[in-house]
């Protein structure tokens, strides 16, 4: 079966060299998720020859849409008309239809001419033409001496192919936000490595891994590594830190651990699920204090999202069910200040004894 894959818009406007790299990465990613016997590139389309189930393409980033198609060669317009009539006369029975023609190459007819004759040949079998709301839409994409004919256009996930924009370390709590922040980075073509401060024992770990399993369906066949560090040990080291700044100090420890891990595995950013002022630790002032002195870009893809928007996305992505099971582990966040004092936080941090290298070395690493 032939499948036409349309590249997500942005890939099409890249320079020829980068476009080639993106196409190459996308083809490899596609091969990771479906059985491809043959592949070629044809003016903005990737053409796949596949035998198996192609539905997994809907979760491969970098694809705008895709269609199973017939490919026919022709020498005159009538050849196309005959093919479409043979294939669709039965299918348009009792239905309003539309013919959509796109044309590239030199021909002695225009796209409109082609649509008219193809349409006229099907008209007697149908309930008429409806260009606004057709019940069946037949597409004919004409090239020089061949054409793609199809009637289904499946939505792709858009974005950029995974693996094309660098690796990020995601601070992954397992709540609603960080899985969606992860998905947003994956959508922009990033490879992700997850870092979880395990605060709720095996229950916490299981929820995280269930979410990672869902996210890996969107990861174009690549594995996702999760580092579970001992969060309880970190919490106990914070016992003497004043309660109202404890959560800010904890977040700084998380950022620092993520920064160190990024350097170890050649990642170039840290991603979090923070959204401006969603909770007290996420006010602009507290984010400033939390990020102070951290020497790696911190990405917060959800910074401008409302909680409802994040939850809606989590239903679409598939993590909602698991995120909703996560109990509130950050009990220390109650009585937190919304305006931490930088000097006070830095001073308290000096009293906390954390061996960052050891935290990472002793982490349990699971690959999903
Ligand atoms: N236990 C944890 N392990 C790793 N990262 C964490 C942990 N807790 C919080 N984070 C990071 O800090 C961000 C903000 O967490 P916070 O608890 O303040 O808000 P939240 O709304 O509960 O976030 P989430 O919905 O992602 O759990 C999270 O999105 C995540 O990136």
Output the CA 305–ligand 1 centroid distance in Å: 15
Ligand 1 pocket member 299 (CB < 6 A): no
Which of 171, 301, 359 is the best mutation target for the ligand 1 pocket, counting ligand atoms within 8 Å of the beta carbon and taking the most? 171
| Residue 203 confidence (pLDDT) | 87
Ligand 1 pocket member 231 (CB < 6 A): yes
Ligand 1 pocket member 193 (CB < 6 A): no
Over residues 268-285, the pLDDT tens digits come to: 999 999 999 888 888 999
> Mean pLDDT of all residues in the chain?
95
Ligand 1 pocket member 220 (CB < 6 A): no
3-state SS assignment for residue 201: helix
Q: What pTM was computed for the model?
A: 0.94
Residue 44's pLDDT band (boundaries 50, 70, 90)?
confident
Over residues 58-106, the pLDDT tens digits come to: 999 999 999 999 999 999 999 999 999 999 999 999 999 999 999 999 9
Of the listed ranges 70-79, 283-292, 328-337, the least confidently predicted one is 328-337
**ipTM of the complex, rounded to two decimals:** 0.97
Superfamily (CATH H level) for 167-367:
HUPs (3.40.50.620)
Output the CA 193–ligand 1 centroid distance in Å: 15
What is the DSSP annotation of 6-61? Answer: EEPHHHHTS-HHHHHHHHHHHHHHHHHHS-EEEEEEETTEEEEEE-S--GGGGGST
Average pLDDT, integer, range 294-319: 97
pLDDT beyond 60 at 143: yes
| Residue 334 confidence (pLDDT) | 63
CA-204 nearest atom, ligand 1: 1
Binding site for ATP, by residue number, is 171-172, 196-197, 251, 273, 282
| Residue 13 confidence (pLDDT) | 82
Q: What CATH architecture does domain 2-158 belong to?
A: 2-Layer Sandwich (3.30)
| Residue 226 confidence (pLDDT) | 98
What distance, in Å, lies between the first and last C-alpha atoms of the chain? Answer: 31
Ligand 1 pocket member 322 (CB < 6 A): no
The token pair that represents 94 in the structure block: 């009792």
Q: Outline which parts of the chain fall under CATH 3.30.2130.30.
A: 2-158
Question: Could you tell me what percentage of the chain is helix, strand and coil, using 3-state DSSP and rounding each to the nearest 5?
Answer: 40, 25, 35
Over residues 93-125, the pLDDT tens digits come to: 999 999 999 999 999 999 999 999 999 999 999
| Residue 166 confidence (pLDDT) | 97
Nearest CA to ligand 1 atom 2: 173
CA-330 nearest atom, ligand 1: 17
Closest Cα to residue 322, out of 226, 203, 233? 203
Q: What percent of the chain has pLDDT over 70?
A: 98
| Residue 328 confidence (pLDDT) | 66
Ligand 1 pocket member 161 (CB < 6 A): no
pLDDT beyond 90 at 327: no
Output the CA 254–ligand 1 centroid distance in Å: 10
- How far is it, in rounded angstroms, from Cα 67 to Cα 62? 15
DSSP 62: T
Which of 168, 172, 175 is the best mutation target for the ligand 1 pocket, counting ligand atoms within 8 Å of the beta carbon and taking the most? 175
Ligand 1 pocket member 336 (CB < 6 A): no
| Residue 179 confidence (pLDDT) | 98
Output the CA 176–ligand 1 centroid distance in Å: 9
Average pLDDT, integer, range 249-268: 97
- How far is it, in rounded angstroms, from Cα 160 to Cα 13? 13
Q: Outline which parts of the chain fall under CATH 3.40.50.620.
A: 167-367
pLDDT beyond 60 at 167: yes
Closest Cα to residue 334, out of 261, 277, 298, 281? 281
């Amino acid at each position: 079966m032939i499948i036409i894959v349309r590249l997500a818009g942005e890939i099409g406007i890249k320079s020829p060299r980068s476009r080639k790299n993106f196409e190459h990465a996308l083809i490899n990613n596609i091969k990771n998720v479906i059985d491809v016997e043959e592949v070629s590139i044809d003016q903005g389309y990737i053409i796949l020859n596949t035998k198996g189930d192609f539905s997994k393409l809907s979760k491969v980033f970098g694809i705008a849409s895709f269609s199973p198609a017939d490919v026919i060669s022709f020498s005159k317009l009538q050849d196309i008309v005959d093919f479409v009539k043979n294939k669709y006369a039965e299918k348009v029975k009792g239905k309003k239809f539309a013919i959509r023609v796109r044309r590239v190459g030199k021909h002695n007819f225009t796209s409109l001419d082609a649509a008219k004759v193809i349409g006229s040949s099907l008209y007697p079998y149908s309930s008429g033409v409806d260009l606004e709301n057709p019940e069946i839409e037949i597409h004919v994409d004409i090239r020089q001496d061949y054409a793609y004919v199809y009637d289904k256009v499946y939505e792709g996930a858009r974005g950029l192919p995974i693996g094309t924009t660098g690796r990020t370390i995601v601070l992954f709590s397992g709540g609603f936000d960080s899985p969606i922040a992860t998905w947003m980075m994956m959508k922009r073509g990033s490879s992700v490595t997850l870092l979880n401060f395990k605060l709720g024992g095996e229950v916490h770990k299981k929820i995280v891994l269930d979410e990672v399993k869902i996210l890996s369906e969107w990861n174009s066949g690549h594995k996702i590594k999760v580092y579970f560090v001992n969060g309880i040990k970190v919490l106990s080291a914070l016992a003497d830190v004043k309660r109202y700044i404890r959560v800010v100090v904890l977040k700084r420890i998380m950022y620092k651990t993520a920064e160190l891990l990024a350097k170890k595995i050649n990642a170039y950013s840290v991603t979090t699920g923070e959204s401006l002022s969603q909770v007290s630790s996420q006010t602009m002032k507290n984010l400033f204090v939390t990020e102070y002195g951290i020497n790696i870009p911190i990405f917060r893809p959800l910074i401008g999202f409302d909680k409802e928007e994040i939850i809606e996305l989590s239903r679409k992505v598939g993590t909602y069910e698991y995120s909703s099971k996560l109990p509130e582990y950050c009990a220390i966040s109650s009585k937190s200040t919304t305006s931490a004092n930088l000097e006070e936080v830095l001073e308290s941090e000096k009293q906390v004894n954390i061996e960052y290298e050891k935290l990472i070395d002793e982490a349990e690493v699971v690959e999903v």
